[in-house]
Structure 1
């Protein structure tokens, strides 16, 4: 069995914010699986099976900095170890468009991950980190993560969510290493234009006079 925790904040005012990108992935995954959300213990939850593997996915309703309160009950009820847990999170330190899976490591300032580590007493679970970029110069990071996506960001956001769903399913069916190998190369940032090719034509000043057909 696998437990997936998608981090975010409850309430319509937060639904379209950068901090809730994990919920976007969760909602799309649940939609694709054809199931619905049910109210649970400090969380909304859904259940489905992927290639015979039972999956429970939750969206904590505790606000970000108390996410561990929603994670502990299913961990204890199903007697799961950290290897069965995947947390989907926004990542302020990764550029928008990057997707990375990581096993273990510190919380990096992400308060939901911080609280899960505190409650579980371990860092050794997998995180699916979705880059949202640092804020522009002079803007408060706390304000930035709670800001809404710009319209110009929507195509990249939709693709990042689509690939996030695939990465989750790969983790469920094949484990962390296979999912990392398949999706840690994801980088949706726009590429700079290719440089103009250097001309190989001879310089007219060096090529000598044009031949005169009249001799």
Structure 2
């Protein structure tokens, strides 16, 4: 069974370690723990993780956030991934920092990466793991906030929350969506 795990983010050093790149951060941690390395490919960098008879393709799109759908569609088609085996990892300002929520569908909630995936796929019925980054910004400051770096306090807690996100991804692939939602949402 194959899965496509897509971490949303922007390429380049200017975006490294920013809130908007939490999807990349989670996949980097997953790859490092699995002792695999990302390789350049069409529309992004990928690596493959084998997990108890399952194949997980980790994708960090190189299309920048606002065109993430192109990479998702390409890799779903190339690897023949079923829609139910797609998981998008995304930052969410509507959730407090470090809160993790797995959902089977939903609106883009103003997130340009999710909006583009929805536009390209033609629907919003795809799984997503939302990583709360909080909303500690003043009116009109949303873009600077999500493209900003973590605070010192957030940086201390971040590794444990990223590890929990990796755990949720593994559970999604091994136990399924509903079991994983029951186990991890509201925790």
User: TM-score interval w.r.t. the shorter chain?
Assistant: over 0.9
Q: Counterpart of 1:32?
A: 33
1:103-149 per-residue CA deviation (whole Å, 9 max, x = no partner) reads 01111111111111111112111100000011333451011100111
Would you tell me which structure has more helix in proportion to its own residues? 2
Q: Counterpart of 2:49?
A: 48
Q: Counterpart of 2:167?
A: 166
CA distance in 1, matches of 2:128, 2:186: 15
Secondary structure at the counterpart of residue 67 of structure 1: helix
1:20-61 per-residue CA deviation (whole Å, 9 max, x = no partner) reads 111111000011111100001110000021110011110001
CA distance in 1, matches of 2:64, 2:169: 23
In structure 1, runs of 5+ residues without a counterpart are: 187-215
Normalized against structure 1, the TM-score is what? 0.83
Secondary structure at the counterpart of residue 95 of structure 1: coil
Normalized against structure 2, the TM-score is what? 0.96
Q: Counterpart of 1:102?
A: 103
Point out 4+ residue stretches in structure 1 off by more than 6 angstroms.
none
Tell me which structure has the larger Cα radius of gyration: 1
User: How many residue pairs are counted as aligned between the two chains?
Assistant: 186
The range that moved more, 1-10 or 104-113, is 104-113
- Relative distance call for 1:48 and 1:139 in structure 2 (3 A) is same
CA distance in 2, matches of 1:176, 1:160: 19
Aligned-residue RMSD, C-alpha: 1.1
The alpha-carbon deviation at position 97 of structure 1 amounts to 2.0
